């Protein structure tokens, strides 16, 4: 498996469109346990003079537990179309209860510089190391946002600011 390096600024638009059109896959790992979840809330850009991907993960998610134990993640972007099966499993099931990679038929490809794998089927990949995490307080948000996105206090998000340490497209 080859990795064709890409410039983050050149793929930022592709990643933003994927976030808006079904989501990207946020992959995490703790020991031998790997997990993937579909996210539609994230952004890519620069902060603290570093290329960064910020991912928003609800407090109750298994992914949050994994990220708190191992502060690295990969972002896999479905540039060749979305897999309905992978989307349903990774977007609606918990990794606490199953091996999502196996159930969804996804192939884990070892990370280049992080311990978290990429997904072969979704070749555009960002490898990230968490620089900062911040728990959101929904009560501090405008009322219309709270009403639409937060049903109670347990629904708050944690924002993980990941420095992008590698960006590439997986190729055979």
Domain ranges, ordered by start, for the chain: 2-171
- Cβ atoms 130, 72 nearer than 8 A: yes
Structure confidence at residue 153 (pLDDT): 56
**pTM across the whole model:** 0.94
Residue 136: other Cβ atoms inside 10 A: 16
Least confident of 17-26, 79-88, 144-153, 163-172: 144-153
The CATH architecture assigned to 2-171 reads: Roll (2.30)
Whole-angstrom distance, CA of residue 26 vs CA of residue 172? 22
Contacts of 171 (CB under 8 A, 6+ apart): 1, 2, 3, 4, 123
């Amino acid at each position: 498996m080859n990795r064709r390096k890409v410039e983050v600024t050149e793929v930022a638009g592709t990643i933003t469109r994927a976030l808006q059109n079904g989501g990207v896959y946020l992959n995490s790992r703790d020991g031998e346990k790997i997990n993937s979840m579909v996210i539609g809330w994230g952004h890519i850009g620069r902060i603290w003079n570093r290329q960064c991907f910020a991912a928003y993960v609800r407090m109750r998610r298994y992914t949050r537990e994994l990220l708190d134990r191992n502060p690295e993640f990969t972002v896999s972007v479905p540039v060749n179309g979305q897999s309905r099966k992978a989307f349903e499993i990774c977007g609606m099931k918990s990794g606490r209860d199953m091996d999502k990679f196996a159930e969804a038929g996804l192939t884990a490809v070892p990370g280049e510089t992080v311990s978290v794998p990429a997904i072969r089927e979704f070749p555009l990949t960002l490898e990230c190391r968490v620089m900062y995490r911040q728990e959101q307080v929904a009560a501090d948000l405008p009322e219309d946002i709270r009403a639409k996105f937060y049903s109670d206090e347990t629904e708050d998000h944690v924002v993980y600011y990941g420095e992008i340490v590698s960006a590439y497209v997986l190729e055979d």
